[in-house]
Amino acid sequence: MPELRRPPRLVRPTTTVRESFLAGEWADHRASGGDAGWLEPAAEDFETFVARRRGVQRRWGVPCTTFWYVSDEHYLGTLLVRHRLTPELAEVGGHVGYHVVPAWRRQGHATRMLAAGLVECRRLGLERVLLTCAAGNEPSHRVILANGGVHDGRARGEDRYWIDLDGTGGRNRAHCT
């Protein structure tokens, strides 16, 4: 794995990370057994693929902003911010989704990426964000807790966490445990 020359940062999707994006996402989908069919069209016309993700998109019935976590030509992961919740997203999905590709995992990148994502959430005017993760996903639980997440029960096999963006880390509100 290459050494990063600069600290990673959140950016809007960019063509400068084409090779590492495709390699990282292929590796992620092979590791998870997920459907990677969307990567072939992305590889064929990466400029269009990126352009479609740079603006605010409508997904899951709400406006969403996509960020990539990059360092120079290295793509490390994606963070997605849903600008508001639907009843479905209030149970599973939440405001923020993120992932780090396999080559960059277990190095603290997810924790730092989520912290940067919370700054973006504040810029969008969100005061409190919901994150969910699979009940057995200990790495994600640690990332969320490290960023001030307060456990708020479980819905459909997903643990729910709220993060207050007013700087209190959720300490000023009562939550179920």
Task: Read off the pLDDT of residues 16-52 as tens digits, 9 standing for 90 and up.
Answer: 999 999 999 998 877 777 777 889 999 999 999 999 9
Q: Which residues have C-beta within 8 Å of that of residue 69, sequence separation ≥ 6?
A: 8, 9, 10, 75, 76, 77, 78, 79, 100, 109, 113, 116
* Residue 80 tokens, joined: 């997605």
Q: Which residues have C-beta within 8 Å of that of residue 89, sequence separation ≥ 6?
A: 60, 62, 82, 95, 130
The confidence score (pLDDT) of residue 174 equals 32
The confidence score (pLDDT) of residue 102 equals 94
Say if residue 84's pLDDT is above 90: yes
Distance separating alpha carbons of residues 159 and 151, to the nearest angstrom: 7
The proportion of the chain whose per-residue pLDDT surpasses 90, expressed as a percent, equals 82
Q: What is the pTM of this model?
A: 0.90
When the candidates are 3.40.630.30, 3.90.1150.10, 3.60.10.10, 3.40.50.2300, the CATH number that belongs to 9-164 is 3.40.630.30
Say if residue 177's pLDDT is above 50: no
pLDDT band at 127 (very low <50, low <70, confident <90, very high): very high
HSE on the CB side for 169, CA within 13 Å? 7
Closest CA to 98 of 124, 58, 129, 62: 129
The confidence score (pLDDT) of residue 167 equals 64
Q: How high does pLDDT run on average in the chain?
A: 91
Each residue of 143-169: pLDDT tens digit?
999 999 999 999 999 999 999 998 654
